[in-house]
């Protein structure tokens, strides 16, 4: 019978922490707040996409401090018009790592 021994991982081999994220409320009507946590100060980009993968709006691009931060999406597109009801995705890119989530806009 095989019994695994202790496993050690060198510090440089540990995976990079990802930016933890969620949005509230979800589903939402007029606006939603996208919260994200990053382990250190990073340049962050938050972008909203539709279900076809088309960019709806760049919410923010800038440097954020370590810890929990937030961005509000007012459900408008880059052109300033209200987005249609449906499923949308946000992507948060912090440094060279990223995460994504889904949100439901109900008008």
pLDDT at residue number 20: 81
Find the range with the poorest average confidence among 6-15, 19-28, 87-96: 6-15
The pLDDT-based confidence of 1 (bands split at 50, 70, 90) is low
Task: Count Cα neighbours of 56 within 13 Å in the Cβ-side half-sphere.
Answer: 26
pLDDT at residue number 13: 54
Provide the whole-model pTM: 0.82
Cα separation, 91 vs 21, whole angstroms: 9
């Amino acid at each position: 019978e095989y019994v695994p021994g202790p496993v050690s991982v060198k510090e440089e081999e540990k995976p990079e922490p990802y930016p933890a994220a969620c949005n509230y409320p979800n589903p939402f009507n007029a606006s939603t707040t996208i919260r994200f946590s990053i382990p250190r100060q990073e340049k962050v980009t938050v972008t909203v996409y539709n279900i076809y993968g088309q960019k709806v709006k760049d919410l923010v691009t800038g440097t954020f401090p370590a810890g929990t931060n937030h961005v509000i999406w007012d459900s408008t597109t880059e052109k300033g018009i209200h987005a249609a009801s449906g499923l949308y995705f946000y992507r948060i890119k912090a440094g060279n790592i990223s995460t994504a989530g889904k949100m439901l806009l109900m008008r």
